[in-house]
Structure 1
Amino acid sequence: MMETYVELVRHRFEDRHANIMGNIEKLDEAQLRFTVRIFGDCIDEEKRKELFGNYTEYWSQSELTEFVRSFLPAYLEYAIAELLEKKEGGERFDPPYLTQEEYQEMAVREKWPRVARHLEHMTPLQLRREIAKAALLFRPYMLSDPGFNEGALEFALYFDLLDRLAKLSTDDLRAATAEIALLIDRAVSAKTPQECEPILREIRERASRAAGITADPETLLGPGMERYPREAPPGWKLRELGKTLNSMSLKDLRLSALVHLDLLTTEETREIVTPFLSRFPSFYEIPSNGLREILLAIADKIADRAISFFFDRYSAGRMAMTPPVSFLVWKLMPEEEKRLRLREDNEKMDQAMMSRHLARYLHSSTTGELSDAGRQISLLTDGQFISNHGLILKKGGGDSTLEGVGRLYDEVTVLSLRVMALPEGEREEMFRKIREKIADFAGIPIPGTIMEGGA
């Protein structure tokens, strides 16, 4: 006897569940988070609160594995119950009879005509999901790709949009959806990709405008599988550091300590580190436990700093010294306000820290190297780097951060912001000029070059 649609789907759910559960130990941290995102996008808000509890994407892989192991059976039960409820009166595939998984599985060109005809039967949450995904329609093929809906979940921007759309009333959500539906109909009817592209841009603009965003979402996308929310929960970084330190060798602990010391001003070093250093003849005679104590003490005071933030801040708003600016807010912020925030960040630095940052420019041949944490860490044991940041400080040090090094650092700040606003292929020439400016100030050659008149 032929199985009904409900029976077929139920068996598919059960087979999928068994497959994931049987391979759960093979899933890495990102795959586990993505699994939760996919199924979480098919749960109503009340049930999500119940099933997710205190879930966070910042859990360790083992914690994520255990969560997924307990979450999947509950989700399977929920998905089957929804399937039975929606198809109780027959196999109907329009709102309000679509399951949340069916919304996720349908290609845009198939789903949106149904959405347009039955707006009054869609929940506010589903309207928000569809608008947020419409904002991520970057290419014509996405209109026909059933995998597009899951692909959108890779990006934190989708969840940014979803959260922002929560502020809209149901009527406003329906109005925005109706307008987008007309545009999608035009895009689907386009004869060529060239004809379709500008319509997709209109779709993105309308969807993002509903979320209060004026920029094209494609310029705000960010990396795939970036944790969301972007800010870690309180204490997470310290907890993770503690676990990492317990498995590190003495050599690695020393390098990690150098990294953390590089994030401090001279005054912070005196306040946080000197009490520990005074217990030992020299830094290189501090045992493993002593280094762990120093690292945890530093991390407790400066949890929101990292070795590449002095440059990452220009593109992402992750400040070197002050609290971060939301990625989305930073992307939409006018340049004048960005300069103000960056200068506030600079004010928390001292000239020694500024000199180290400027030397990093000299020792990085591309903007990519400045953002490469591994490359920046390697400089900590580079004799020429150590010498050069000392020379920069000696040449430009003074009583005021408004003079010498401070003035140069301000100029480099403004120029770096402009560099990172340029298209990727146009940045390196301007970056080279920044390096030349720093080298001229210090009277030293850019590493790898020979000064005029040199040997």
Structure 2
Amino acid sequence: MIDSYVELVRHRLENRSANIMANLEKLGEGHLRFTMRIFGDCLDEEARGKLLTGYTEYWTEMEIRSFAKEFVPAYTEYAVTELLEKKKDGERFHPPYLTQEEYQEMAVREKWPRIAEHLEEVSPLQLRREVARMGMLFRPYMLSDPGFNEGVLEFALYFDLLDRLTVVPTADLRTAAREIAPLVGSAVAAKSIGECEIILPRIRAIAAKAARLPADPETLLGPGMERYPREAPPGWKLRELRMTLETMSLKDLRLSALVHVDILTTEEVREIVSPFMARFPSFYEIPGNALRELIVAIAGSVTDRLITYFFDRYSTGRMVMTKPVSFLVWKLSPEEEKLRLLREDNERMDSAMMARHLARFLRSSSPAELGDAGRQISLLTNENFTSNHGSILKNLGGGQEGEGVKRLYDQVTVLALRMMYRREAEKQEMFDAIRAMIAETAGIPPETNEEET
């Protein structure tokens, strides 16, 4: 006897749960977080409050896995219950009889005609999800790809859109949906990719307008699987650091300490590091526990500062010295406003810190290397980096004022900001020009400014 649709889906849900549970120990942190996102996107607001209470993407892999052991079976029970409720009077596949999993599994071209026909019966939460997804309809193939609905969950932009749509009245969401639906139909019926590509920005524009977002969402797409919300809960980074330090060897602790010292100004070194150094004959004679203590002291004093922020700030708004700017606010800000914020950040730096950043430009062969944490950490033990740093300070005037360094740093700030919004080929050309300008201004001979092989 052939099982009914409900029984087939129920078995699939239960088998999926069993498979995940059997392989949970093999799943890495990113896979675990993505699994939680997929299931979380199929929970109504009441269920989210119950099943995801206390959950955060800032947990360690072990903590997320431990949470998932309880969550996955509970979610599966919820999904089965919803399935039985929605199909109790028959197998109907339109709102309000679609389960949240069915919404997530349907391709755009299949789903939106049903949404349009039964718009008043689509829940406000589901409507927010569908409008948010339309804000990320970037390519024609996404109209037919059932994986599109899960794919958007990889990006924080989807959750940004969802959050913004939370405060939008349901009537406005339905208005947006009425405008989107015929455009989806036109895009599906388009006779060429080119014709379809003309329509997709119009769909995204409606979704963006509904979310009060004055830009094409495609221009705001960030990296995949960045944690959301982007700002960690208070104390989480320090907590995570402490746990990481416990697993480090003495060699790794020394390198980590150097990394943390590198992000400090001279005054901060004097206040935080000097008391530790006074207790030992030299840096290399500091024992592991004292190094851990030093690293935690630095991290606790200068929160949210990483070795690559001197460059990341141009594209993300995460400043070195001042408070980070919201990713969306940064992306939407005009150049003048970005430059103002960058200069405020510069004002909090001293010439020694600026000189280190300039030396990092010299010792990197591409913009990608500047944003590569591993590469930037490796420079801490690079003699050429140390030499370039010293030459910049010496030739441009170190000391308290360091006006020569600051003038050069301001020039680099302007050019680096503009570089980040150029095409890739132009970006590398501009980067090379910045490096040449730094070397010439600082009086560093070309032969000492060649990249390490």
TM-score band, normalised by shorter chain: over 0.9
Partner residue, 1:453: none
Partner residue, 1:413: 413
**Equivalents in 2 of 1:447, 1:80: separation in Å?**
68
Partner residue, 1:268: 268
Structure 1, unpaired ranges of 5+? 451-455
Partner residue, 2:34: 34
- Equivalence map 1:77-88=2 (5 Å): 77-88=77-88
1:7 counterpart = 2:40: no
**Equivalents in 2 of 1:28, 1:422: separation in Å?**
35
Deviation at 1:425, TM superposition (A): 2.7
Question: In the superposition, relative to structure 1, how do residues 286 and 400 fare at CA in structure 2: closer, same or farther (>3 Å)?
Answer: closer
Partner residue, 1:296: 296
What letter matches 2:371 in structure 1? S
Secondary structure at the aligned position of 2:386 is classed as helix
Partner residue, 1:444: 444
Partner residue, 1:334: 334
- Equivalence map 1:141-156=2 (5 Å): 141-156=141-156
Partner deviation per Cα, 1:37-81 (whole Å, 9 max, x = no partner): 111110001110110011001111111111111001111111111
**Equivalents in 2 of 1:197, 1:206: separation in Å?**
15
Partner residue, 2:22: 22
Question: In the superposition, relative to structure 1, how do residues 446 and 157 fare at CA in structure 2: closer, same or farther (>3 Å)?
Answer: farther
Partner residue, 1:108: 108
Q: Is the 8 A contact 2:362 2:449 kept in 1?
A: no
Question: In the superposition, relative to structure 1, how do residues 287 and 400 fare at CA in structure 2: closer, same or farther (>3 Å)?
Answer: closer
**Equivalents in 2 of 1:108, 1:164: separation in Å?**
22
Question: In the superposition, relative to structure 1, how do residues 133 and 13 fare at CA in structure 2: closer, same or farther (>3 Å)?
Answer: same
Partner residue, 2:188: 188
Identity %: 68
Q: Runs in 1 of length 4+ with deviation above 3 angstroms?
A: 398-402, 446-450
**Equivalents in 1 of 2:410, 2:124: separation in Å?**
47
- Equivalence map 1:139-288=2 (5 Å): 139-288=139-288
**Equivalents in 2 of 1:252, 1:239: separation in Å?**
18
- Equivalence map 1:429-440=2 (5 Å): 429-440=429-440
Partner deviation per Cα, 1:264-309 (whole Å, 9 max, x = no partner): 0000011111111100111111111111111010010112011010
Deviation at 1:215, TM superposition (A): 2.1
What letter matches 2:365 in structure 1? S
1:138 counterpart = 2:160: no
**Equivalents in 2 of 1:292, 1:10: separation in Å?**
51
1:325 counterpart = 2:325: yes
What letter matches 1:285 in structure 2? E
What letter matches 1:332 in structure 2? L
Question: In the superposition, relative to structure 1, how do residues 258 and 204 fare at CA in structure 2: closer, same or farther (>3 Å)?
Answer: same
Q: Is the 8 A contact 1:363 1:447 kept in 2?
A: no
**Equivalents in 1 of 2:33, 2:316: separation in Å?**
23
What letter matches 1:397 in structure 2? G
**Equivalents in 1 of 2:152, 2:216: separation in Å?**
15
Q: Is the 8 A contact 1:263 1:305 kept in 2?
A: yes
**Equivalents in 2 of 1:179, 1:54: separation in Å?**
38
Paired residues, number = 450
Partner residue, 1:47: 47
- Equivalence map 1:117-136=2 (5 Å): 117-136=117-136
Q: Is the 8 A contact 1:435 1:446 kept in 2?
A: no
Deviation at 1:200, TM superposition (A): 0.8
1:314 counterpart = 2:319: no
**Equivalents in 1 of 2:192, 2:277: separation in Å?**
68
Partner deviation per Cα, 1:222-267 (whole Å, 9 max, x = no partner): 1111111111111111111111111211111111111100000000
Secondary structure at the aligned position of 1:89 is classed as coil
Q: Is the 8 A contact 1:362 1:446 kept in 2?
A: no
Deviation at 1:401, TM superposition (A): 5.1
Deviation at 1:421, TM superposition (A): 1.1
**Equivalents in 1 of 2:317, 2:22: separation in Å?**
41
**Equivalents in 1 of 2:84, 2:243: separation in Å?**
45
Deviation at 1:399, TM superposition (A): 6.2
Partner residue, 1:96: 96
Cα RMSD between the aligned structures? Answer: 1.3
**Equivalents in 2 of 1:349, 1:5: separation in Å?**
64
Q: Is the 8 A contact 2:6 2:83 kept in 1?
A: yes
**Equivalents in 1 of 2:421, 2:447: separation in Å?**
26
**Equivalents in 2 of 1:198, 1:301: separation in Å?**
51
Deviation at 1:2, TM superposition (A): 2.4
Deviation at 1:447, TM superposition (A): 5.6
Partner deviation per Cα, 1:155-188 (whole Å, 9 max, x = no partner): 1110010001111000001001111111101101
**Equivalents in 1 of 2:449, 2:404: separation in Å?**
24
**Equivalents in 2 of 1:203, 1:358: separation in Å?**
43
TM-score (structure 1 length as normaliser): 0.97
Secondary structure at the aligned position of 1:222 is classed as coil
Deviation at 1:446, TM superposition (A): 4.2
**Equivalents in 2 of 1:251, 1:7: separation in Å?**
57
- Equivalence map 1:343-382=2 (5 Å): 343-382=343-382
Deviation at 1:143, TM superposition (A): 0.5
Question: In the superposition, relative to structure 1, how do residues 426 and 260 fare at CA in structure 2: closer, same or farther (>3 Å)?
Answer: same
Secondary structure at the aligned position of 1:23 is classed as helix
Secondary structure at the aligned position of 1:159 is classed as helix
**Equivalents in 2 of 1:336, 1:400: separation in Å?**
28
**Equivalents in 1 of 2:399, 2:335: separation in Å?**
29
**Equivalents in 1 of 2:182, 2:329: separation in Å?**
29
Partner residue, 1:395: 395
**Equivalents in 1 of 2:449, 2:309: separation in Å?**
27
Question: In the superposition, relative to structure 1, how do residues 449 and 290 fare at CA in structure 2: closer, same or farther (>3 Å)?
Answer: closer
What letter matches 2:382 in structure 1? D
TM-score (structure 2 length as normaliser): 0.97
**Equivalents in 1 of 2:114, 2:402: separation in Å?**
62
Q: Is the 8 A contact 2:311 2:371 kept in 1?
A: yes
**Equivalents in 2 of 1:341, 1:392: separation in Å?**
25
**Equivalents in 1 of 2:99, 2:289: separation in Å?**
55
